Amino acid sequence: MDSCASLIAEHPYRLPPLQAASSRRRTLAVGLIGPGRVGSVLLAQLRAAQERLAREAGLELKLCGVAASRRMWLDCDDPELNAQHDAQTWRPADLDQFAAHVRGEGQRHAMLIDCSASDMVASQYPYWLASGLHVVTPSKLASSGPLSRWQSIRAASQYGGRFRYEATVCAGLPVVQTLRDLLDTGDQLLSVEGMFSGTLAWLCCQYDGQRPFSALLREAHALGYTEPDPRDDLSGMDVARKLVILAREAGWPLSLHDVAVESLVPAELAEVPVEEFMARLEQLDAPMAQRLAAAQAAQGVLRHVASLDCDGRARVGLHALPAAHAFAHTRLTDNIVQFRTQRYRDNPLLVQGPGAGPEVTAAGVFADLLRIAESLEVRA
């Protein structure tokens, strides 16, 4: 035990568990869709916290199912069978059946967590929310997809289940909620600027010409920073989606086609299957070496920067910034978000920290789950 942990364990004045635990006992049925890098870490975090949440917060999390792209696991009344994760308990995936199973009979609180990167899954949100299921996701597809679908999701979440998506922008950092709080307290957003890609932040920090860009990109993929298809990061589309999400949060009807995006993906690799793209990554090395040399010649550093203003101007691209620029001093996957608002007009409000990776992203999703759970009424 480190000294801090032992101090907490031995301290005679440790705070008692929350009083409300017994009087606010609630059960939340949870189904997870997409047990990939983020989804599987989230499952581990939920399991690790289950007992503590029941004891200290009166929240019983009941994991009732996991759906992957081709198969799903549903719990049943037989604990022995539930304990087995083998072919006997897995069955072909069927999202309607999955959602109905998690919703269950009667009035129980139920939530679907979408950790896939599937548009087909995102298109189900309006129906799930309208049926009273809560939805939490790190996937940007719904919040930055077609505006009409986004509006249906917002409408369904007004009277149905609740919808939260904090981890869609800068993973576990409190970005969407910070903007929401500013707006809800009467502030007005003027502009947002920053570095919104953990992958590109990490690549820009690591890339000094010693190792080829392609080798670093393979490493970023293995570390779980990239999107399932790393072209979503390199093309700037992942960052464009984050700008669209923030703009819509502020009530501006932005869509992806409104964002001016500079892509780093060579045209000949834009449409090939992802496996082929990964096999041909070396084709990125020469153009990226040129960008680095140009930045170094100007005594600058490469940084991937995005901006959005209240006239709807949104742009995303790679820049050579002076070494003294605030964005030049970030580390690892650090994202920076600068909100300029009426209140923070002269000196912007800053959110900064790691912006990618399964652990921090899963924790952002988990925090959304807890915020919804806090608001649930006690039901028999």
Ligand X SMILES: N[C@@H](CCO)C(=O)O
Q: How far is the CB of 273 from ligand NAD (least distance, A)?
A: 15
Q: Quick one: tokens of 85?
A: 């994760």
Query: Among 128, 165, 225, 339, which residue sits at the site for ligand X (rule: CB under 6 A)?
Result: 225
| Residue 242 is a catalytic residue | yes
Q: Where in 270-374 does DSSP place strands (E)?
A: 300-309, 314-322, 334-341, 349-354
Query: Among 31, 58, 65, 138, which residue sits at the site for ligand NAD (rule: CB under 6 A)?
Result: 138
Q: Which amino acid is at 210?
A: Q
Residues contacting 100, CB < 8 A, separation 6+: none
Residue 228 sits in the site that holds ligand NAD (CB under 6 A): yes
What does R_g of the chain's alpha carbons equal in angstroms? 22
CA distance 66 to 21: 28
How many Cα neighbours within 13 Å face the side chain of 282? 1
Q: Residue 29: beta bridge partners?
A: 62, 110
Sign of CA dihedral 171, 173, 177, 178: negative
Query: Quick one: what does residue 121 bind among ligand X, ligand NAD, none, with the CB cut-off 5 to 8 Å set by partner type?
Result: ligand NAD
Query: Among 29, 30, 33, 351, which residue sits at the site for ligand NAD (rule: CB under 6 A)?
Result: 33
CA distance 224 to 246: 24
**Nearest to 35, CA basis, from 85, 79, 80:** 85
**Nearest to 104, CA basis, from 161, 64, 60, 46:** 64
Query: Quick one: what does residue 197 bind among ligand X, ligand NAD, none, with the CB cut-off 5 to 8 Å set by partner type?
Result: ligand X
Residue with the closest Cβ to ligand NAD? 36
Residue 171 sits in the site that holds ligand X (CB under 6 A): yes
**Total binding residues toward ligand NAD, as defined by CB under 6 A:** 29
Query: In 189-340, where does DSSP find H-type helix?
Result: 198-206, 213-222, 231-234, 237-249, 274-279, 285-297
- Where residue 327 falls (left for φ over 0; alpha for ψ -120 to 50; beta otherwise) is alpha
Nearest CB to ligand X, comparing residues 171 and 288: 171
Nearest CB to ligand X, comparing residues 152 and 226: 226
Q: Which of 37, 103, 134, 242 is catalytic?
A: 242
336-375 residues near ligand X, rule: CB under 6 A: 355-356
Residue 161 sits in the site that holds ligand X (CB under 6 A): no
Residue 227 sits in the site that holds ligand NAD (CB under 6 A): yes
Q: How far is the CB of 189 from ligand X (least distance, A)?
A: 21
Residue 42 sits in the site that holds ligand NAD (CB under 6 A): no
Give me the active site residues, please.
242
Chain positions contacting ligand NAD, by CB under 6 A = 33-39, 67-69, 115-118, 120-121, 138-140, 167, 171, 224-225, 227-228, 356-358, 361
Chain positions contacting ligand X, by CB under 6 A = 171, 197-199, 225-227, 233, 238, 355-356
